[in-house]
Amino acid sequence: MKRTIVLKVNPEKPEAEKIRVAAKIIRRGGLVAFPTETVYGLGADALNPEAVTQIYLAKKRPLDNPIIVHVASENDVYRLAENVPEKARRLMSVFWPGPLTLVLKAKDIVPKATTGGLDTVAVRMPNLRVALALIKESRVPIAAPSANLSGKPSPTTAEHVKQDLYGRIDLILDAGPTEVGVESTVLDLTMDPPQILRPGGVSYEALSEVLGRVELHPTVVADREISLVHARSPGMKHKHYAPKAKVIVVEGEPEAVRRKVQELAEEHRKNGRSVGVLATDENKRFYKANVIKSLGARRDLSSAARNLFKMLREFDEEKVDIIIAESVPIEGLGLAVMNRLRKASGFNIVKAD
């Protein structure tokens, strides 16, 4: 067991001495959990394979699942990637710093531990002072997946990081809850047209506006487990974002969804289960359940994104057996929310009509 230090940091004006402590740990190959605008990340020196290997061990992450490299400026990208296309430059100027990760051809300087053995590297510049200060002070790019145990909902507070990783990492920088709440959009620029590998904080619509054509990887919109298991695509074959409780997602038109959620909640309560409903503001008053939480108004998808992972963890704390979740519209941030929710349910989806 490691001794994990927790330091509160001012998100507006990160204290220089705290950032120095964190950067020192990164430089000597240790692990620091830090906030970004999306979720908390678990950082290590991206150029040090031993340090990066510690990330996999701490998270119990499968070794073939590559890790995003966080940089503090556009210039850092050219150290890590080659053949950086014009499209990447345009995207960086529009969306960085921000929740967009670009997959580019990797230079040899990037260890295979970081790329999961691939010849590409995923890079992003986060939009949060604490994160940028840490990367700059460390003077190395920082490899950082989400700071949760592999398979659990991603952490949007330092408390979530503690729940999963206390005693397994060196330091947690606590700057309060994260703003976006879902992870970055991962865009593969080694293909033409570019392809979204994971939906996230920058929407498909926003990317299309800048790029013209953008494709969605089949897993992004999948409403069932698709056979990537056989394609050995890392990460995809494992359970994701899953709370302890069983999750059912109810999809369809809002009215039909409401009726179906009511019906399922009643049925499971009759069978003696403790039922949680993950609702929207419009529908929450119609439900009877042991615990009811609302993601927010249906049209406010940024609120749904911000609340999703936090609420999944809260249902576990309140020890519900089953979570019945309303779907949200698949547009803007709703694509990222539904992608996480479907995976959290293990594609246990009920179509309401």
Footprint on this chain of Mg ion (rule: CB under 5 A): 146
36, 48, 120, 138: which one contacts ligand AMP (CB under 6 A)? 120
In which residue are the tokens 């019906």 written?
263
Contact between 53 and ligand AMP (CB under 6 A)?
Answer: no
Min separation Cβ 151 and ligand AMP, Å: 11
CA dist 318 to 143, 293, 325, Å?
Answer: 34, 12, 16
Residues written for the chain:
353
Whose CB is nearest to ligand AMP?
145
Query: Least distance (Å) from Mg ion to the CB of residue 152?
Result: 9
The binder of 200, among ligand AMP, Mg ion, none, by C-beta within 5 to 8 A per type, is none
Distance CA 49, CA 54 (A): 9
Residue 336 within binding range of ligand AMP, rule CB under 6 A? no
Q: What is the DSSP string of 302-346?
A: HHHHHHHHHHHHHHHHTT-SEEEEE---SSTTHHHHHHHHHHHTT
Q: DSSP code of 120?
A: E
103, two tokens = 């997959």
Taking the complex as a whole, the smallest distance from the CB of residue 145 to ligand AMP amounts, in Å, to 3
Cβ 51 vs Cβ 67: under 8 Å: no
Longest dimension (CA), the chain: 60
Where do the H-state alpha helices sit in the chain? 16-27, 49-59, 74-80, 86-95, 112-115, 129-138, 158-165, 204-211, 218-221, 228-231, 254-270, 301-317, 334-344
Residue 19 binds ligand AMP, judged by CB under 6 A: no
Q: Is residue 46 a contact point for ligand AMP (CB under 6 A)?
A: no
Q: Which stretch binds ligand AMP (CB under 6 A): 60-68, 170-178, 249-257, 291-299?
A: 60-68
Does residue 124 interact with ligand AMP by CB under 6 A?
A: no
Contacts of 99 (CB under 8 A, 6+ apart): 37, 38, 124, 126, 127, 180, 183, 184, 185, 200, 201, 202
80 scored as a contact of ligand AMP (CB under 6 A): no
Q: Which of 9, 68, 158, 337 binds ligand AMP (CB under 6 A)?
A: 68
CB nearest Mg ion: which residue? 146
The contact pattern for ligand AMP, residues 139-178, with x = CB under 6 A and - = no contact, is ------xx--------------------------------
CB 171 within 8 A of CB 5: yes
For ligand AMP, the closer of residues 188 and 326 by Cβ is 188
Nearer to Mg ion, 127 or 146 (CB): 146
- DSSP H/E element including 135: helix 129-138
Q: Please give the torsion angle defined by the CA atoms of residues 119, 153, 72 and 88, in that order, rounded to the nearest 10 degrees.
A: 50
Q: How far is the CB of 259 from Mg ion (least distance, A)?
A: 34
65 binds ligand AMP (CB under 6 A): yes
**Using the rule CB under 6 A, is 199 a contact of ligand AMP?**
no
Minimum distance from residue 65 beta carbon to Mg ion (Å):
9
Of the residues 26, 121, 130, 322, which one makes contact with ligand AMP according to CB under 6 A: 121
Q: Are 255 and 268 in contact (CB under 8 A)?
A: no
Q: Which residues bind ligand AMP (CB under 6 A)?
A: 65-68, 103, 115, 118, 120-122, 145-146, 183, 186, 197-198, 235
